[in-house]
Structure 1
């Protein structure tokens, strides 16, 4: 979308990409017993509460992989099932949205480095969990 100055992406909300596996893995609450159910709970929390501590509008994308594939999108959260590595898919999403502000929520150091090199901001799992 162009703003009045003709700069692409100026009016687009923040694109917040959440590394589901990494965020779930940051809390030892038994998520590994039901990965899909844990991903659905995270999705629902994000749909209900947004990103804790942030008041700016955001398009939230939850990237799932492995046993969590098949989780459906809901209003407020788009779910992307990575065709392979979740990290690689997140990098592709960041690279494909260079015309807007992007935030990747993960604690994975290598992923943080990769998306940072593409100009995305990064934040830890607490950004999604509160």
Structure 2
């Protein structure tokens, strides 16, 4: 099992849906969507979801099933530190970010996916939800 480690600002910013008018609201919606277990053929099993939030979105509430890392400064620094701590604890990490500089700072062996992958998974899950 692995930890899904999400760069919230990078994922929110990947889709031009007006997020810049309400960064905290957009981040809260993303975090809420991550509270449901991820499913799909291209989704590896994860046993923990960790989301790094920063800036105006740092105070969004954490739903059950999601652990927030509230970056006091740089979200990239917080995500790199969290990935290093998880790897040092022997945890496999699946990081979600498109930031090339951040990707280069992640521990060796970190599986990395882009925001489009995660948003696609979440969109397919929403389409398959009953009701």
The TM-score range, normalised by the shorter chain, is 0.7 to 0.9
1:51·1:128 contact (CA, 8 Å) conserved in 2? no
Query: Which structure has greater helix proportion?
Result: 2
Structure 1: segments with no counterpart, 5+ residues:
1-12
1:47 and 1:127 map into 2 onto residues whose CA distance is 17
2:13 and 2:119 map into 1 onto residues whose CA distance is 11
1:105·1:125 contact (CA, 8 Å) conserved in 2? yes
How do residues 22-61 of structure 1 correspond to structure 2 at under 5 angstroms? Answer: 22-50=10-38, 53-54=42-43, 56-61=45-50
1:97 is the counterpart of 2:109: no
Aligned CA distance change for structure 1 residues 17 and 57 (closer, same or farther; 3 Å): closer
Name which of structure 1's ranges 43-52 and 64-73 shifts more when overlaid on structure 2.
43-52
Of the three residues 89, 92, 111, the one matched with 2:102 is: 111
Aligned CA distance change for structure 1 residues 15 and 27 (closer, same or farther; 3 Å): same
Aligned match of 1:120? 110
What TM-score results when the alignment is normalised by the length of structure 2?
A: 0.82
1:74 and 1:39 map into 2 onto residues whose CA distance is 12
Aligned match of 1:68? 57
Structure 1 residue ranges (4+ consecutive) displaced by more than 2 angstroms after TM superposition: 48-53
How many aligned residue pairs are there? Answer: 117
Aligned CA distance change for structure 1 residues 111 and 49 (closer, same or farther; 3 Å): same
1:15 and 1:31 map into 2 onto residues whose CA distance is 26
